[in-house]
Structure 1
């Protein structure tokens, strides 16, 4: 028999034990408040705020995020320049990979892969033509801003304006060892990255002071797994393109476009739909 909302509240088996004091009961209730439905609503409201922002604000925030995301590439480069060429070296210089994400996510800048879950939940809740149009507008503004930001910094790096000649050579050596995958392989590698980024947006409302470690750990996994993130990966391929190592067509067709599609599939097609479906299932089970 399906439970009603009042039956769930009155069920003694779902209430804190009587031997807990008032402070412990409050702690239990605080932890129980972080249910899937509460998290879903927090993330949905974040998405509503993003969808309501003016286009110019989205583009500027996305550009700032793109500029900041190139710090992931630069920090990897700086760490790599002090390490020997050994099998364990990536475990160390990949520690620089989360830096850009930490700045962007904690700074509440617009990063495309975060919006694959936050901005999608309002649409999944109310799939109207207006909401779909708002989602497309947000995605376009944010991805354009992100790519403009990474291109600006990559150009400064390729021109040896913000890095030295030696650092540029190290970057070319480091990135030159990363062969461009066929587009379909890039797409499949981008799906887990999109899923992980959506998971970050989903977990953060419940992190309660552990936001740094959530972002750091999960983005470090992206680096270790060799997964394809459209923004950070574009900073790498754009640097190679502007340095003359690959063509513009290769950078877009072999990486940027398939990575974009894979991130959308992983973040929206998998995580957002599953998270929303879980919430709907929980709700229907109580009515």
Structure 2
């Protein structure tokens, strides 16, 4: 009897042992395969499907800035950020629960198929998906920020709160945009990795991770594009500043945090755990049955 079998709690029925087995958390290899399969499906989607889903995600991300601005406009004191940061989660909840295409999610899901099978075809599929999703996300964010500024939707106090949110992002210098973008990309990848193992707690995982992102003022290419493009439409920031001072360092940081740190390390862990299956035991030589004849 093996050591694992001998150490089982005595008195368990077969049904109870099966229940114990079913309640074990999935191995990292299982999570890797779930996310890899999801990424492979995304890589096979048509350009039109990717574009419209990514555009919808960019529009939905306006909910994060909208919720934060509404909170800030109605709160005062040092504790305002603690509460207003909850609003940051609104856009992520909408995008992830609606299964829309978010670029920073794809820095993990779409990368795992390439790491599993590093071919030129898979690399081409990845670059195709990244390009379409990123452009769709940014188009949606620029459009929603324009609507929020120019249509008579919010009062002046809320409009000023939106400006303050964008100004806070632009207080970061290039190195801070980049470094905070790395952390943000890593946190989103962590969230994506956690969700398959705790599907029933998906909403709480999204809330926890994105709330911490807001509290830490970490930079995110999609949410930040809503906030900073709002400043551009308001005439406080130019488009070259938007692209060079915010978008470029944040985007590179998000990719490094999600793909080159989290995805690479997670993939390396699975490769290290996989190993080779044990070799079968050699067959023992059996004497032919004795039939009693000489």
8 Å CA contact retained: 1:180, 1:255: no
Structure 2 counterpart of 1:118:
109
Structure 2 counterpart of 1:256:
247
Structure 2 counterpart of 1:226:
217
8 Å CA contact retained: 1:160, 1:168: no
TM-score under structure 1 normalisation?
Answer: 0.91
Shift of 1:99: 0.7
Q: Distance in 2 between matches of 1:76 and 1:33?
A: 35
CA RMSD of aligned residues (A): 1.8
Change (3 A) 1:44 1:177: closer
Moved more, 171-180 or 253-262: 171-180
Mapping for residues 1-287 of structure 1, pairs under 5 Å: 11-13=2-4, 17-32=9-24, 34-84=26-76, 86-284=77-275
State the structure with more CA Rg. 2
Secondary structure, counterpart of 1:163 in structure 2: coil
8 Å CA contact retained: 2:178, 2:250: yes
Q: Distance in 2 between matches of 1:226 and 1:169?
A: 19
Query: What is the aligned residue count?
Result: 277
Moved more, 113-122 or 170-179: 170-179
Q: Distance in 1 between matches of 2:82 and 2:229?
A: 24
Unaligned runs of 5+ in 1: 1-9
Change (3 A) 1:286 1:222: farther
Change (3 A) 1:16 1:134: farther
